[in-house]
């Protein structure tokens, strides 16, 4: 005799009566925070990925082009051009992080289990990783293929990025709707272009003054970012300040 089968049948219970209802109503299993972060990746707009790829490609192109066609420009000019690409990435990442405010979703989102602070944290994690990868790539490119060196490249590339991030985040947290997009765009362009123009006159400014100025701007940008993020992630009163 098949003992297994006999055992199974000897103790077979009647069909469970409340299974469907219970399982439908069961709110579990719930998402963990890391699962939540992953779930947010698909809500980051494609333009961020496209821009990242384009920027790195443009940087590669610049370096190659200059090495071949205009070797005298390899050096600071190349680095400044590369660094003038970063404001656009900064603007896009800032606008992604600020999406909730831009489209009036903050109230709804704050009342959810993964509330606005955690949502912003998730977005920042994702975008921070992407930005880091792009900045690292650009820094390595200019550090290795130009005589400027990695340390200085890092400073020159980070400056406009942090600056525009800070400014854009601040703009998005104050204004809603399309205008903030335009203002932010303009500021990104401004920083980008002034970077290039400054580069033209950079030849006459001694390096360490230029570097210190850039570092100061980096610090300003970082502080602005931190303050604005604190404001955004202070979910409980975010709406209060805008009523």
Partner 1 sequence: MLRKIEELYDKIYRYCFYRLRNSASAEDITQEAFLRYFAQNTDINAAYIFTIAKNLCTDMFRRKQTEELSDDYPTEDFSDKSDTKVEVRTALENLGEQHREVLVMRYIADMSVNETAETLGISRFAVYRLEKAALAQMKKLLKGALK
Partner 2 sequence: MELTLDRVTKNYGSKIACDRISLTLTKGVYGLLGANGAGKTTLMRMMCGILEPTSGSISYDGIDVSREEYRDVLGYLPQDFGYYPEFTAQDFMMYIAALKGLPKAKAKVRTTELLELVSLKNEAKKKIKTFSGGMKQRLGIAQAMLNDPKILVLDEPTAGLDPKERVRFRNLISRMGADRIILLSTHIVSDIEHIADTILVMKSGQLIHSGSLDEIIEVIRGKVWECTVPQDVADMLTEKYPIINTRNAAEGVFLRLVCDKKPCENAVNTEATLEDLYLYYFSVEERTDNK
Query: Which stretch, 25-33, 82-90, 141-149, 216-224, contacts partner 1 (CB under 8 A)?
Result: 25-33
Of 8 and 239, the one with the shorter C-beta distance to partner 1 is: 8
Q: How far is CA 171 from CA 24, 135, 189, 199, 208, in A?
A: 44, 23, 15, 27, 31
Q: How far is the CB of 225 from partner 2 (least distance, A)?
A: 23
Nearer to partner 2, 66 or 109 (CB): 109
Q: What is the distance between the alpha carbons of residues 95 and 87, in angstroms, rounded to a whole number?
A: 12
* Chain residues that interact with partner 2, rule: CB under 8 A: 24-25, 27, 29-31, 35-36, 39-40, 43, 99, 103-105, 107-115, 119, 235-240, 243
Read off the DSSP letter of residue 26.
Answer: -
Determine, following the binding rule CB under 8 A, whether residue 4 of this chain makes contact with partner 1: yes
* Separation of alpha carbons 176 and 120, rounded Å: 17
- Residue 204 interacts, among partner 2, partner 1, none and using kind-specific CB cut-offs from 5 to 8 Å, with none
DSSP annotation of 242: G
The contacts of residue 193 (CB under 8 Å, 6+ apart) are 84
Rounded CA-CA distance 75/78 in Å is 6
Pick one of partner 2, partner 1, none as the site partner of residue 19 (Cβ within 5 to 8 A by kind): partner 1
Smallest distance, partner 2 to C-beta of residue 8, A: 29
Nearest to 48 by CA among 36, 56, 38: 56
The piece of 10-18, 82-90, 144-152, 176-184 that touches partner 1 (CB under 8 A) is: 10-18
Q: Considering CB distances under 5 to 8 angstroms, the limit depending on partner class, which of partner 1, partner 2, none binds residue 193? A: none
CB 104 within 8 A of CB 180: no
Distance from C-alpha of 168 to C-alpha of 148, rounded to nearest angstrom: 29
Question: Restricting to residues 170-199, which ones interact with partner 1 according to CB under 8 A?
Answer: none
7 binds partner 1 (CB under 8 A): yes
Asked whether position 30 contacts partner 1 by CB under 8 A, the answer is: yes
DSSP for 151-183, written as a single string: HHHHHHHHHHHHHHHHHHHHHHHH--SHHHHHH
Taking the complex as a whole, how short is the minimal distance between the CB of residue 2 and partner 1, in angstroms?
A: 10
Q: How far is the CB of 43 from partner 2 (least distance, A)?
A: 7
Q: Residue 40 binds what, of partner 1, partner 2, none (CB under 5 to 8 Å, by partner type)?
A: partner 2
C-alpha distances in Å from residue 232, one per residue of 81, 99, 120: 32, 11, 8
CB of 170 to partner 2, least distance (A): 21
Tokens of 206: 């001694």
Q: Binding partner of residue 110 among partner 1, partner 2, none, CB under 5 to 8 Å per kind?
A: partner 2
Provide the binding-site residues for partner 1, judged by CB under 8 A: 1, 3-4, 6-14, 16-19, 22-23, 26-32, 35
């Amino acid at each position: 005799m098949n003992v297994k089968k006999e055992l199974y049948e000897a103790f077979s219970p009647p069909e469970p009566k409340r299974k469907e209802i219970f399982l439908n109503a069961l709110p579990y299993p719930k998402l963990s925070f890391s699962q939540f972060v992953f779930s947010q990746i698909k809500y980051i707009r494609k333009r961020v990925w496209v821009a990242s790829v384009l920027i790195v490609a443009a940087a590669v192109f610049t370096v190659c082009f200059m090495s071949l066609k205009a070797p005298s420009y390899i050096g600071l000019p190349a680095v400044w051009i590369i660094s003038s690409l970063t404001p656009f990435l900064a603007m896009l990442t800032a606008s992604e992080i600020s999406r909730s405010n831009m489209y009036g979703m903050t109230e709804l989102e704050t009342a959810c289990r993964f509330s606005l602070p955690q949502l912003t944290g998730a977005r920042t994690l994702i975008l921070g990783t992407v930005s880091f990868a792009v900045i690292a790539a650009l820094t390595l490119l200019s550090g290795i293929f130009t005589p400027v060196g990695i340390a200085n490249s890092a400073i020159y590339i980070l400056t406009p990025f942090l600056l525009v991030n800070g400014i854009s985040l601040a703009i998005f947290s104050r204004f809603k709707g399309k205008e903030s997009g335009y203002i932010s765009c303009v500021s990104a362009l401004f920083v980008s272009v002034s970077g290039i123009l400054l580069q033209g006159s950079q030849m006459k400014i001694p390096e360490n003054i230029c570097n210190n100025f850039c570092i100061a701007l980096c610090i300003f940008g970082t502080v602005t970012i931190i303050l604005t993020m604190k404001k955004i992630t202070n979910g409980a009163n975010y709406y209060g300040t805008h009523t």
